[in-house]
Amino acid sequence: MGDTKSAFTPIDTNDLIQEAEKIKVHIREASNQLRSLDLNLGASLRLNIKLVEMEAYLSGLRYALGEAAPFTQSQARHSAAGLS
């Protein structure tokens, strides 16, 4: 049989941890911006969508690190509604 190479390349755990920490900072910044009384409705909606996307990404990183279960649609709805 021929030499087959896997398409899977393992990711360094330290890289995942660093990325998770970076995303946590972005989530805190977005959350702080959402508290601003000067934020108009359109900007607030866009920022809220970005926040939910970052939370889902962070959940995926945590899952890859073995720290959490996969992010679900239900969690996304609760997060978007501010119920997390």
Other C-beta atoms closer than 10 Å to the C-beta of 22 total 12
pTM (predicted TM-score): 0.70
Q: Give residue 67's pLDDT.
A: 86
Q: Give residue 12's pLDDT.
A: 86
Residue 1 has pLDDT above 70, yes or no: no
pLDDT digits (tens, 9 = 90+) for 24-76: 999 999 999 999 989 999 999 999 999 999 999 999 999 999 887 776 656 55
Other C-beta atoms closer than 10 Å to the C-beta of 79 total 19
Q: Give residue 6's pLDDT.
A: 61
Q: How is the chain split into domains, by residue range?
A: 41-84
Phi, psi of 21 (to 5 degrees): -65, -40
